[in-house]
Structure formats: structure tokens, C-alpha cells
Amino acid sequence: MKKIDAILFSVFMSIFMSVPMSFVMTAVNVGFTSVFIKAFLGSTVIGTIVAIPVAFLAMPIVGKLVALIMGKIERRIVNE
């Protein structure tokens, strides 16, 4: 994966994860009241601002974890 691909992947995954989570958490906390839209938008902005750097930090760790798991799975398949 090229560096720009990894960056775009992290940004889009952060957005696609934080928006639905913000929607659900806002609905749970304030309900579908007159302040829902304002609270949802504010929560979405904060969630996305937090999620993007977390995704950048997690990408290398998750990549190594996936490689480790896939390596173990491939070794089991070869040994069977």
C-alpha cells in the first residue's frame, strides 16, 4: 500500500466509523429532541478529530497483528 493510500484509508475509515458512532451515542444520550442535530454534528466533529490520529497510530500495529495472524493461518494450512 502506498503512503497516500494508507493516509486516505485511515481518514476515510475514521470518518466512516465516527459518524455512525456519534449518531448512535447522541441518540442514546439526548434522544431525538430539538438539540439532536446540533449535538450530533458537534459530536461528529470531535469524534473525527480524535479518530483520525488514533487511526494513524493504530495502522502499523494492526498491520503487524494481521500479518502475524495470517502467517499462523498459512502455516496451519500448509501443515495440514
pLDDT digits (tens, 9 = 90+) for 9-38: 889 999 999 999 999 999 999 999 999 999
Q: Which three cell numbers stand for residue 69?
A: 495472524
Give the separation between CA 61 and CA 63, rounded to whole angstroms: 5
- Element containing residue 74 per DSSP (H, E): helix 36-79
- Mean model confidence pLDDT for the chain: 90
Cα angle for residues 50, 60, 52 (degrees, 5° grid): 15
Give the separation between CA 54 and CA 72, rounded to whole angstroms: 27
What Rg do the C-alpha atoms of the chain give, in angstroms?
18
- Is the pTM higher than 0.75? no
Q: What confidence score (pLDDT) does residue 32 get?
A: 95
